[in-house]
């Protein structure tokens, strides 16, 4: 079986899920204490990152590990309604047409198409369903007494965690993948572990670091470089 794995934020979708959640909470005047905590906590290491004392992978990992704070204490039903609302009103309308065309091509070819993203697994499943994608491999959230605790279930589906989660997901379903013939699409240098696991990697609207790597490796590039 040939697989086609698509990152979400910045690749298939022009926006970023954490920003969508923050904007929603602020506009609804809801959950603002945890929004503030999330932003303050994750902006604190920014000077170290700017000085080169903190790697990009580590910096983005901190943001991803704590993103569950944006749903801390939420009942599952309330969160599900929010996922449906954002998928319908914000995410699907802002999917990149050229990347969506690639996704549809792979689906028509009978390839196994999957979204692989650090996005919350239940949210990613809603997005995948809206896009007609059968498989969604995201970051699970811890649940206690019918509510999200604000913690993820590691590993975070980011950087090295993406190939780990993708392989585990497919192994659980007894799906054998021809990785040398498979495809992956992503936009950041932190996605190099996902791109490197397949024989047909594609850099999509890449950041400068991924673009440089893609040119060195002769990987195809879709779209202009993202600053």
Query: pLDDT tens digits, residue range 70-124?
Result: 999 999 999 999 999 999 999 999 999 999 999 999 999 999 999 999 999 999 9
**pLDDT-derived band at 140, boundaries 50, 70, 90:** very high
pLDDT above 90 covers what percent of the chain? 77
Residue-range domain boundaries for the chain: 3-222
Token duo for residue 52:
């080169």
The answer to whether 200 and 181 have CB atoms below 8 angstroms apart is yes
**Of 96, 100, 116, which is closest to residue 184 (Cα–Cα)?**
116
CATH fold of 3-222: Rossmann fold (3.40.50)
Q: What is the mean pLDDT of the segment spanning 178-182? A: 98
Residue-level pLDDT at 100: 98
- Cα(58)–Cα(14) distance, integer angstroms: 23
**CA dist., res. 210 & res. 187, Å (int):** 7
Q: Is 138 a residue whose pLDDT tops 70? A: yes
């Amino acid at each position: 079986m040939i697989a086609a794995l698509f990152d979400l934020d910045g690749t298939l979708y022009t926006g970023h899920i954490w920003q969508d959640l923050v904007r929603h909470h602020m506009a609804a005047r809801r959950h603002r204490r945890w929004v503030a905590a999330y932003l303050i906590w994750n902006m604190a290491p920014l000077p170290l990152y700017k000085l080169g004392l903190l790697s990009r992978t580590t910096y983005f990992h901190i943001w991803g590990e704590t993103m569950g704070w944006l749903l801390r204490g939420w009942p599952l039903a309330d969160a599900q309604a929010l996922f449906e609302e954002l998928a319908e009103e914000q995410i699907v309308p802002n999917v990149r047409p050229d990347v969506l065309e690639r996704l549809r091509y792979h689906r028509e070819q009978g390839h196994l198409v999957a979204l692989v993203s650090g996005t919350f697994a239940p949210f990613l499943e809603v997005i995948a369903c809206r896009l007609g994608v059968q498989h969604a491999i995201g970051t699970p959230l811890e649940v206690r007494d019918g509510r999200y605790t604000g913690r993820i279930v590691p590993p975070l589906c980011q950087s090295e965690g993406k190939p780990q989660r993708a392989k585990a997901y497919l192994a659980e379903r007894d799906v054998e993948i021809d990785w040398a013939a498979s495809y992956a699409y992503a936009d950041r240098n932190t996605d190099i572990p996902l791109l490197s696991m397949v024989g047909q990697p594609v850099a999509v609207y890449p950041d400068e670091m991924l673009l440089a790597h893609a040119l060195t490796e002769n990987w195809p590039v879709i779209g202009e470089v993202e600053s």
